[in-house]
Amino acid sequence: MFKNVIVRVPSPSISEGLTSADLGQPVYEKALVQHENYVSALTKAGVNVTVLEPKNEFPDACFVEDVALCTSKCAIITRPGAETRRAEAELSDMHDALNKFYDHVEQIEAPGTVEAGDIMMVGDHFYIGESARTNRVGAEQMIAILEKHGLTGSIVTLKEVLHLKTGLAYLENNNLLVAGEFIDDPEFAKFNRIEVPEDEAYGANCIWVNDHVLVPEGYPTIQKKIEELGYDVILVDTSEFRKIDGGLSCLSLRF
């Protein structure tokens, strides 16, 4: 069960965020409303939400998931692979927030790069995507830190998606949403795999929060499949964040 969540309010500079989506620029005012609704959905799922101030000098800073990994034993500050995002991991308010909740806060060091959008937690094990943003050195550093705290990790090589969790979402109870390159991946054969249709691929980025599952609005097939598993689904519109390659998991740290 999660007790706490950390989020950061989007800034007006969000229109300058990194993107490969080709969906146009996000509208700041709409993104702000969607973010408020996201926080409201998290609150409904029974967590306490710490809200950090916007950082206009960092257009992607609302995607807090990439700059830290929060586990049951420690927090690990990452070193983002996108150079324009690297300084986000040094922001003092994020460090202060993590230090408030954790006795042990570790850090990824150069030349390692890690973005925690590439990391999926399944119990005490962490699948780490080796991607354009997370390199082998960073993944190995992450595993060493996890093992130091009694946790485990393994590396999954990505071929197509930006981040591991672009195509995977663990919903607890052995249920795993799988999209694209992960549908037939033997690495995940032990799970009850719920296949995401290609035309709803963006909707694969759902998040489990205390027996609720937050699902992006507009992906009815995924919504139905998750409801049939018995979860309480909360729909959240993230269309503005999709324009800059962001989804539901990117917008929060959950622990």
Q: For 180-213, how does the pLDDT look when each residue is reduced to its tens digit (9 = 90+)?
A: 999 999 999 999 999 999 999 999 999 999 999 9
* φ, ψ at 192 (rounded to 5°): -80, 100
pLDDT at 15: 84
* Residue of 103, 32, 44, 51 lying closest to 72 (CA atoms): 103
Torsion angle of alpha carbons 228, 230, 234, 239, nearest 10°? -40
- Give the rounded distance of the alpha carbon of 44 from its chain centre: 19
pLDDT value of position 17: 72
Under the banding of pLDDT at 50, 70 and 90, the label for residue 92 is: very high
Say which of 62, 74, 206, 250 is annotated catalytic.
250
Q: Does 184 show up as a binding residue in the annotation?
A: no
**Active-site entry in 62, 163, 206, 212:** 163
DSSP characters for 49-106?
EEEEPP-TT-TTTT-GGGGEEE-SS-EEE-B-SSGGGGGGGG-HHHHHHHHHH-S-EE
Q: Is 206 designated active site?
A: no
85 among annotated binding-site residues: yes
- The answer on whether 254 is annotated among ligand-binding residues is no
pTM: 0.96
Using alpha carbons only, how large is the chain's radius of gyration in Å? 17
Each residue's pLDDT tens digit, 154-172: 999 999 988 999 999 999 9
Q: Which domains, ranges and CATH numbers included, belong to the chain?
A: 4-254 (3.75.10.10)
Q: Is 74 a catalytic residue?
A: no
pLDDT tens figures, 211-254: 999 999 999 999 999 999 999 999 999 999 999 889 999 999 99
Average pLDDT over residues 120-135: 97
For the stretch 17-63, pLDDT in tens is 777 767 788 999 999 999 999 999 999 999 999 999 999 999 999 99
